[in-house]
Amino acid sequence: MATQAKKKQSQKKSKQSSVAASVKQSKVTKGKNVKLADLNRQLPEDFGAAMPFDLSDTQWFLNRELTWLSFNRRVLHEAEDERTPLLERLKFIAIVSGNLDEFFMKRIGGLKQQIGAGMRELTLDGRTARQQVTECYAEIRDIEARKEQAFQEICALLEEKNILIERYDELTPKEMKLLREFYYANIFPLLTPQSIDPAHPFPFISNLSLNLLVSLRYPKAKQNSLVRIKVPVDARTPRFIRIGKGEHFIRLEEVMMNNLDMLFPGMEIMSCELFRVTRNANTEKDEDEADDLMEMIESELKERKFAPIVRLEIASGMNPMHRGRLASELELNEATDVFEVPGLLAMRDLFELTRLDFPRLHDAPHHPIDHPQLQNQRNIFHIIREAGAILLQHPYESFSTSVERFLREAATDPKVRGIKMTLYRTSRQSRIIDALTLAAHNGKQVAVVVELKARFDEATNISLAERMEEAGIHVTYGVVGLKTHCKVIMVVRQDYNSLRRYLHIGTGNYHADTARLYSDVGILTCDQVVGEDVTELFNFLTTGFMLKRKYSKLCLAPRLLKKALIEKIDREIVVHRTTGDGLIQFKINALEDGDVVRALYRASMAGVKIDLIVRDTCRLRPGIPGLSDTVRVISVVGRFLEHARIYYFRNGGAEEYFIASADAMKRNLEARVEVMCPVEPVELTKELRLVFDTHLADQRSAWDMQSDGSYVQRLPADGSGDGSHRLLIARAEKRLKDNMKKKKSKKPEK
C-alpha cells in the first residue's frame, strides 16, 4: 500500500511538473513572470480527485450514434427551410439519404457484429450494442417520415416551376409509345430476370441496388412464380428519364414496371413490387497477418460485396407474404430490420435532378478566388519563401491555383529534387496524380504514402497506387495497424547553397471535387523546423519505426497528439487561476473521445470559457450547472460541409492556434497517423480568429446544443441574416478586391 501511495504521489508531481513547465515555456500571463511554485499551488488535486462530479458517470456522456443522427436532422432541416433555394432543398434530401445508407453500412453493421459476437461492453453513455440499434432505428424511422414529407412539399413547389416527376398513368399515349421505344433500345438489353423458386437458389442482391419483385403465372394457372429484376441505375443509365424536351421526368423503375410484357410475353403479371437492400461494410481483416496489404484490401472488397444484409427497404403496400419471404431469405428480423417506405426508394438518386440548370433555384454561384498572394505568375516557391507562410481557406480560395499549382510547379521546376506526400482520398481523374506522374517522368524522386483502407475509396486508391507505381513513383501503404489520415506534402528544392523544404499541411483531402464543397484550411510554408518534423514523419510512415523520433513543432497521433491536447486543456486551467481569462476554442467535426471530454469538463469546472464548434457527433453536454456551464456547443450546417479542424488556446495571452487532420475522436487520436500543426504568424492567426468569430456569431446556419443533447437553430429577430458561409465568401471576395486596389496604388505613374 505504501509503495502504491508513493507511486501515485510521484505521478501527481510528474503531471504537475509537466503542466507547470508547459506554462513557463509559453510565456503566459501577458508578459508577467509567474513563479512555478505559485502555479503548482493552483493545480487542482490530481485534476479531479476532489471534484463534485464523477466524470466516469455515464449520464455526462451523449451517445455517438444518436448525436450523429441528430446531425442529420439538422441537415434535413435545410431541406425543410423555406429560405433554402428549391433545388438546394432537394440536394439536402439526397445528402441525408446517402448519409443514412452509409450509417447502416458502417455503424449499424458494426453494432450488429458486436451483437453477433456476444460483446457486452457498454459505451461511455452506458448503452449496449442492442440498445443502440433499437434507439437508432426509432430515430431513423422518424427522420425517414420527415424526409418523405419534405420531399412531397418540395415536389409540389417544383411542379409550380414546371419541374416534375410524373406518374406513368398520367402520360399521354404518345409519350408512352416514345418511352417504350427508348426503353427497348436503351434499357431492355441490360435486364436479367432471375426466378425465385425451388429449382433456383435465391439470387444475389447487390448492395444499395433497386429491385423489382414480380409475381406472375401462366394463363389460367393457379400457381404464381416470383422473379427478381435489378433496376440498372448507374453512371450511364439515369434513374430519372426525361420526357420530351421539358423538365418532366419519369422514374426508370416505373417504365420497367409498365413494360413487363417485353420480358414475360404471354404471362399474367399479378404484382410488381420494389425493394432495396443495404449490406454491412465492416469487413476489415487483421492487417498484421497479411502477407500483401493490397491483396488483403482487394479480398475485403470482394467480401464486402457478399457481406451480410443489415437493412431491407420495401415500397409500401408489399404483399405480406412477399415481405416475409424476402426477410427470411435475407436472414433479417422482419419486425425490426424491414423499413417500409411510403414514397420514393433510394432518394440519394435525387442528385441527378439537383444538377438542373435553373440558377434561381440554386444558391448564388460561388467561384473560389485565387489567394491574393498567389495571383501572380512568379515561381510559387519564391512567393512562399518571401511570405514565410500562406494560409489557405477552401472552398473560399481556389484549390486548383494553390495546392494543385504547388504540385504542378514542383513537377516542372528544375531545382526541385523530390516530392513526398500522403494520399487518403482523391478523385480517379485527379490532377494531383497527373502532377506526381509528371514529376517522376522529369526525373524527380517522388514518394507517396497511399492509405488503401480509406473507407469506400479502397478500389480507387488501389487503382491509383498501381498507376503511380507504373510511372516510377515510390508507393508505400503506411504503418501496419494505423490508418494514414494526415494531409501533408513536402517538396525538397535546391535553394542557393542548400536544400530547402516547402510544405503543405491541411485539414482536408487532396480531392479537387470536395475542395469546392467542404470547408477546410491548409498552410503553405517553408518553416525549417516544421520541415524537419515532416521529414521525420515520412521516415516513420515509410518504415514504421517510431522510437526516439523527436518533433519540435508538430504533434502526431497516435503517440503525442492526444496527450498534447489534454495537457494544453489542463494548462489552461492553471493559467486561468492566474489570469482569469482562460479560453479554449475547438472547431472540429466530432468530439467523441472520452478523455478529451473529461478534460474539457475539468476546465469548465475551473471556470475556463469553452467554445466548441462541432459539426456532428458531440458526447459532451454543455450548460450543466457546476459541470459545464461555461461551455457552449454550436453546430454549423449550411451550403458547405464544415470539415476544418482548428484548435485554439488563449494561454494567458500567448495565444496558440493549431490546424489538424484529426478530430477529437478515439480512432483519430489512438489508431491513425494524424498531424496537428501550429499556425504562428500573426497575420495568419488573425485569419483563423476571423473564422472562429464568424461561426460563433452566425445567426442563419448555427444551432445551439442544449444540455440534453437537443439543438435549437438560431433565428435572427427580423428573419434575415447571412450565414457564416456567405459571410466568408464575401470576405474572401473583399480580400481579393482590396489586394487588387493595393496593386493598382503601387503602380508607378507614367
**Per residue in 422-440, pLDDT tens?**
999 888 788 999 999 999 9
**Catalytic hit among 77, 248, 394, 485:** 485
SS3 for 507?
A: coil
pLDDT band at 286 (very low <50, low <70, confident <90, very high): low
- Compute the 3-state secondary structure of the chain and give helix, strand, coil in percent, each to the nearest 5: 45, 20, 35
pLDDT tens digits, 605-622 = 999 999 999 999 999 999
- Asked if pLDDT for residue 139 goes beyond 90, the answer is yes
Q: In angstroms, rounded to a whole number, what is the distance separating the alpha carbons of residues 509 and 584? A: 26
| pLDDT value, residue 37 | 37
Q: What are the domain boundaries of the chain?
A: 18-50+556-737, 64-361, 372-552
Question: Rounded to two decimals, what is the model's pTM?
Answer: 0.90
- Indicate the burial class of 163 (C-beta count within 10 angstroms; 0-12, 13-18, 19 or more): buried
pLDDT tens digits, 368-423 = 999 999 988 899 999 999 999 999 999 999 999 999 999 999 999 999 999 999 99
Rounded percentage of the chain residues whose pLDDT exceeds 70: 89
- Asked if pLDDT for residue 306 goes beyond 80, the answer is no
- Which residues, other chains included, contact 599 with Cβ-Cβ below 8 Å and sequence gap of 6+? 565, 566, 569, 570
Lowest mean pLDDT among 162-166, 274-278, 743-747: 743-747
pLDDT band at 747 (very low <50, low <70, confident <90, very high): low
3-state secondary structure 290-359: CCCHHHHHHHHHHHHHCCCEEEEEEECCCCHHHHHHHHHHCCCCCCCCEEEECCCCCHHHHHHHHCCCCH
- Asked if pLDDT for residue 25 goes beyond 80, the answer is no
Helices (H) and strands (E) in the chain, counts: 21, 27
**Could you give the angle at which helices 293-305 and 458-470 cross, rounded to 10 degrees?**
150
| pLDDT value, residue 654 | 96
Of 746 and 565, which is predicted with more confidence?
565
Beta-strand ranges (E) seen in 182-224 are 194-196, 210-217
Phi, psi (rounded to 5 degrees) for 389: -160, 145
Over range 459-464, report the average pLDDT: 84
pLDDT tens digits, 491-516 = 999 998 899 999 999 999 999 999 99
- Indicate the burial class of 477 (C-beta count within 10 angstroms; 0-12, 13-18, 19 or more): buried
Contact call for residues 87 and 362 (beta carbons, < 8 A): yes
| pLDDT value, residue 282 | 78
Q: In angstroms, rounded to a whole number, what is the distance separating the alpha carbons of residues 591 and 615? A: 9
Q: Domain spanning 372-552: which CATH class is it, in words?
A: alpha beta
Q: What is the DSSP letter of 12?
A: H
Catalytic annotation present for 485: yes
Q: What is the DSSP letter of 657?
A: E
| pLDDT value, residue 19 | 43
| pLDDT value, residue 497 | 85
Q: In angstroms, rounded to a whole number, what is the distance separating the alpha carbons of residues 521 and 505? A: 9
pLDDT band at 13 (very low <50, low <70, confident <90, very high): very low
In whole angstroms, how large is the CA radius of gyration of the chain? 29
pLDDT band at 294 (very low <50, low <70, confident <90, very high): low
Its CATH architecture, for the domain 18-50+556-737, is 2-Layer Sandwich (3.30)
Q: Do domains 18-50+556-737 and 64-361 have the same CATH topology?
A: no
Over range 85-98, report the average pLDDT: 97
Over range 693-719, report the average pLDDT: 92
What is the fold, at CATH topology level, of the domain defined by 64-361? polyphosphate kinase like (3.30.1840)
